[in-house]
Every structure is written in C-alpha cells, then in structure tokens.
Amino acid sequence: MAKIIRQMKVAVFSTQPYDSEFFDRANHEGKHEFFYFQPSLNPDTCALGEGFEAICVFVNDQLNEDCLRRLAAKGLKMIALRCAGFNNVNLKVAEELGIKVARVPAYSPHAVAEHAVALILTLNRKTHKAYNRVREGNFSLVRLEGFDLYKKTVGVIGTGKIGRSFIDIMKGFGCRILAYDKYPVEGLEGVEYVELDTIYKESDIISLHCPLNEETQYLLNKEVFDKVKPGLMLINTSRGGLIDTQAAIHALKHKQLGYLGIDVYEQEEKLFFQDLSETIITDDLIARLMGFPNVLITAHQAFFTQNALTQIAETTLNNISAYEGNEPLVNEVKVA
Ligand code: NAD
C-alpha cells in the first residue's frame, strides 16, 4: 500500500514570482501547502516563520542562532534550502535543536557554469557595450577589442559539479586548464591539478567554484592579487565572501585585475533580488565596483534557468516529503 504523506505547511521566504510559479507547478497534486512570504528571513522577519513545521529558504536568508532558537521554540522541525550552498545556516545550532536541514545539491550545474562563461565572453568581447553603441547609431569599434580564448590558461578553483561543467566548456575553446581542489577528482582528462600559487601566477582567467566556509573566506585577498598575472580576469559565480572586495577594488585600480565578473557579492543580501533603481545605494563598495568599465555584475542569476527552477522545486518538494514520510533524507546537510 502506498504510504500516505501528511501535507506539511511550509513557510517560503524570499519568494519571487518565479518561485511560487515553479513550486505550485511541482506541487500540482497538493502534497504540501506553501505559504509564500516576500521578505527574506532575518532577525526582523523571523516571526513570520513561527508556527510552521518547515520553512523553505534561499541563499540570502539568515538562519543564525537566535532565529533558529526562536523558530524551534515555535515548532520548526525542518529547513528546506532551495539552493546548494548552506553557509547561511548555523548547522551546529540546528543539529542541537534537532532541526533537519536539506538542500538541493545539484540543479543543473550547467546553468551556473554557462553563466560563468557568459561573464567571460561579455567582459572579453564587450557585447554589452556593443549592443548599446549600435542602438545609438555608434558603429565604431574603438575600445571594443578582446582577446582569443584559444590557448589561454584558465585556473579553476573547485572541481565539483559546476567546476567540472565549466572545465568542459573551456576545454572546447582550446584553453589550457589548471585546477585546484581540496579533494581532487581522479581521472579528469585535460586538467592539470596544481597548487593555488601556480594558479595565481599562471592563469589568464580564474573562475571560482568552491564553497564558502571558514577556510575559503577571502581566499582572493590583497596578498593573492599582488601575485596574480597582471590583467587577470577573475570570475566568481560561487559566493561573494570568497573575494575581499576592498582588495579587489585596489587590484582593479592598480591593473593587477584587468577584468572582474561577479554574480555574487559579499554583502549581496541587502541588494540582490530587489529593484532598487529609485533608491540611493548606500553600499559604497558595490557602488565603486559599478563604476569600473571592466567590471560586470549580475545579481545572483547564474542558476536562473527553467531547467534549474524545475529541478529546485521538485527536489525541495521531495526533501520535504522524505522528511514527513520518515524516509532517508538523502539531501540532508550535517555539520562537517
Ligand atoms: P560541489 O560540492 O559539487 O563542488 C565544490 C567543490 O569545491 C568540491 O569539489 C570540493 O572538494 C571543493 N572544495 C571544498 N573546499 C575547498 C577548498 N577549501 N578549496 C578548493 N576547493 C574546495 O558544489 P557545486 O555544485 O559545484 O557548487 C559550487 C558552488 O557554487 C557552491 O558552493 C555554491 O556556493 C555556488 N553556487 C552558485 C550558484 C549561483 O547561482 N551563483 C548556484 C549554485 C551554486
């Protein structure tokens, strides 16, 4: 006999129109009941989650100790992350409170890898500038020159699912691939695993694909920028905290960094996923970055494809059902 799964009431934070659209589609059989809240989860909005057995959160929802304790006291049992990264959850406290945490470990690594390549191509060939120029009747090529990717050295930090998908694409351009990973993958063809210093010294382009944790916080800092190949193109689609932004600005000013393409930013939770076009931006670091002609910023959209949104909604739903049905929580996140 098929097991009956009790419908769970789930508070969904940081809801955007596309979240509810894809979740409602995945939940067409009404397995669970989703309550959509637009605000992100932080100490001021934590009360919205009180009384829910499960909450569904995204990259910039802050599940710190205080918030976890408050929600646990009001019945929280499960956190369903609708993303891969989990640096925003205090796992130790969650475990102590008996709250299960599950994530979506893989939802189209290709989406993120392809976006990293989009940043490279746009920065290099300046298609964003060409588009605007031509629309204004400016057909000049002055200052639009790029470089061939063929035979360039690309350093990849983190050779997990996204890093490997990125490597496959860059190999197609004829690039030489250097890689660093704390846990190298055996048998990766056409990839030379090297020390980080070699990546810094030899790469024309570096792309970050490792998680953010205590070890990788500010991995790219002033000391590193001082030793990179001058004019380096740095791409970050992983997590903002991997780069010391202040040091990156210094490196851009001194031309150590020739290009910076970021989909993530260390203080993004105050900015991203919102329309602030009529607001004064008080974050001086991002404002400075936005002023450089060789910096391209996208607002955490690397994951944003139909394939990934479908996968995210379905896996999140399955995680909630597995918890409710007392089945193995295959995507559980635990303290390392
Ligand atoms: P993954 O777990 O498959 O791969 C991560 C790799 O990093 C692993 O091979 C791991 O061994 C390696 N690693 C761990 N610690 C390291 C260290 N100190 N130095 C170097 N390498 C280290 O994860 P993934 O699916 O490839 O995702 C990578 C990152 O991409 C995630 O952590 C997440 O932060 C980010 N991400 C961003 C978006 C976006 O929309 N911008 C979407 C999904 C994921």
What is the 161 CA–ligand 1 centroid distance (Å)? Answer: 8
Q: Are residues 87 and 137 in the same domain?
A: no
The answer to whether residue 50 sits within a structural domain is yes
pLDDT of res. 18: 96
Minimum-distance ligand 1 atom for the alpha carbon of 215 = 18
Task: Tell me, yes or no, whether 336 lies in a domain.
Answer: no
Token representation of residue 108: 């189209």
**Does residue 300's CB lie within 6 angstroms of at least one atom of ligand 1?**
yes
Residues 263, 151 share a domain: yes
86 CB-contact burial (10 Å; exposed 0-12 / middle 13-18 / buried 19+): buried
Same domain, 93 and 151: no
| Total domains in the fold of the chain | 2
Residues that are catalytic: 239, 268, 300
Q: How many CA atoms lie within 13 A of 75 on its CB side?
A: 12
Identify the CA nearest to 202 among candidates 232, 222, 226, 174: 232
CB atoms within 10 A of CB 1: 3
Residues 142 and 202 in one domain: yes
pTM: predicted TM-score of the whole model, two decimal places: 0.91
Residue 126 and residue 97 in one domain: no
> Is 330 within a domain?
no
Q: Is the CB of 84 under 6 A from ligand 1?
A: yes
Task: With both helix axes pointing from N to C terminus, report the angle between 109-125 and 306-324 in degrees, rounded to the nearest 10.
Answer: 150
How do residues 53-91 score in pLDDT, each as one tens digit? 999 999 889 999 999 999 999 999 999 999 988 989 999
CATH number at residue 79: 3.40.50.720
Residue 43 lies in a domain: yes
162 occurs within a structural domain: yes
**What spacing in Å lies between the alpha carbon of 42 and ligand 1's midpoint?**
24
Domain that holds residue 45: 8-107+305-324
- CA angle 22/87/187 to nearest 5° reads 85
320-91-87 Cα angle (round to 5)? 95
- Ligand 1 and 152: CB distance under 6 A: no
Residues 242 and 208 in one domain: yes
Whether the pLDDT of residue 6 is over 90: the answer is no
Model confidence pLDDT, tens digit, residues 167-200: 999 999 999 999 999 999 999 999 999 999 999 9
17 belongs to a structural domain: yes
